[in-house]
Amino acid sequence: MKFIVIILTTVFLLTSLSFKKNNIATTQQPSDSLQYANEKHFKNIRQLTFDGDNAEAYWSYDGKSLIFQRRNPKEGVMCDQIYVGKVPENKDEKFTYKLISTGKGRTTCSYFLPDGKHFIYASTHLGADTCPPNVDRAKYGNKYIWAVNDTYDIFMAEMNGKIVKQLTDVKGYDAEGTLSPDGKKMIFCSTRDGDLDLYIMDLKTQKVKRITNTLGYDGGAWFSPDGKKIVWRASRPKTDPEIKEYKELLKENLVAPTQMEVWVADVDGKNAKQITALGNANWAPNFTPDSKHIIFCSNHEYKKGFPFNMYLTDLNGNDIKKISRDKGFDAFPMFSPDGKKIVFSSTRNNGGTRDINLFVADWVE
């Protein structure tokens, strides 16, 4: 949910994506090799995209379409852009998709409105038509560093790409927006008050309320389907060196999102609690359709920070179950509104390249 949400590790590929205005159709069909041993929750898995970096795919409210961000160096511009495509209803139907963002700047974190006629997304295009510069990681000891560009703002657009409203217009990073079940409120991450915190906006009035205020990166938040809870990822620098590094990086519009845990709270931010304490990066969480469990991504099993897999837990962080078994990158899981399908991004079946593709599967309890 969000862009980047976090793409952490040296393989993190999702900080910039390219675009092409022509619709693109896949021609390949999935094989049994797409599914790994012990992935018992997946059935009829299908690969939707076949090149580039494709991530943060989110379902429309009617469960018929996906909106996602894409980068593909072979297609030209090296910046994240937003695409939309209809989910195939049978094995003979191809997954086709089209560009719906401006093609300018870098975009991220798109999400459908309930009417199916509009979407929200974050973009840097008001800052410049060109891509924001990449982070020089050598300057920071080659640590994974992510830019929280202060030219990001959140926009509402029609499905033809026409922007109809700018939702944020204050100085600083505004991105990682998702909507409440009724589509009336947006939760997003912002640096408007000096830290990376979560805010909720009433889309009708555009009135904003801050709901986190602890030092650290709070982002990638989701509402539960019943509208009662929120879940997000958070870093909590505690030692003096950690706090110093976090603050110094943030002054440069940067963050090192390599130590994060999953948090839940009431929808107003009250009764916040950390539900994972696994170490490394635990992120991209969202709820199961019954609002009783959370699916998230983590590299906590691996000292080197890779691979990433998907895990399922209850709202207290108990009974954690490993869902994916790839040796690469499996992340950004999201259930369809009816809970029958799941979409996620993965490096599986990429022919040894660095491509990240979208996959959809039937969900088996």
List per-residue pLDDT tens for the chain, 365 residues long. Answer: 443 334 433 344 333 322 233 333 333 433 336 999 899 999 999 999 999 999 999 999 999 999 999 999 888 858 999 999 999 999 899 999 999 999 999 999 999 999 999 999 999 999 999 999 989 989 988 888 999 999 999 999 999 999 999 999 999 999 999 999 999 999 999 999 999 999 999 999 999 999 999 999 999 999 999 999 999 999 999 999 999 999 999 999 999 988 999 999 999 999 999 999 999 999 999 999 999 999 999 999 998 888 999 999 999 999 999 999 988 999 999 999 999 999 999 999 998 899 999 999 999 98
> Residue 218: helix, strand or coil by DSSP?
strand
Token readout for 256 is 């090192």
DSSP character string of 125-182? TTT-SSPPPPP-GGGGTT---EE--TT-EEEEEETTS-EEEE---SSS-EEEEEE-TT
Predicted confidence at residue 288, as pLDDT, reads 96
Q: What are the structural domains, with CATH classification, of the chain?
A: 24-363 (2.120.10.30)
Give the CA angle between residues 37, 41, 45 to the nearest 5°.
Answer: 75
Predicted confidence at residue 54, as pLDDT, reads 96
The label of the residue with tokens 């369809």 reads: 336
Token readout for 79 is 């910046």
The label of the residue with tokens 């998907």 reads: 310
Predicted confidence at residue 3, as pLDDT, reads 38
Predicted confidence at residue 108, as pLDDT, reads 96
CB 195 within 8 A of CB 212: no
Predicted confidence at residue 101, as pLDDT, reads 97
Predicted confidence at residue 22, as pLDDT, reads 35
Q: In which order are the strands placed within the sheet that holds 163-166?
A: 107-112, 118-123, 153-158, 163-166
Give the CA angle between residues 14, 308, 5 to the nearest 5°.
Answer: 35
Instruction: Characterize the bridge pairing of strands 107-112 and 118-123.
Output: antiparallel
Token readout for 335 is 């259930």
Instruction: Characterize the bridge pairing of strands 357-363 and 254-255.
Output: unpaired
Predicted confidence at residue 33, as pLDDT, reads 65
Chain-centroid distance, C-alpha 89: 24
Q: pTM (2 decimals)?
A: 0.90
List alpha helices for the chain, DSSP H.
Answer: 240-251
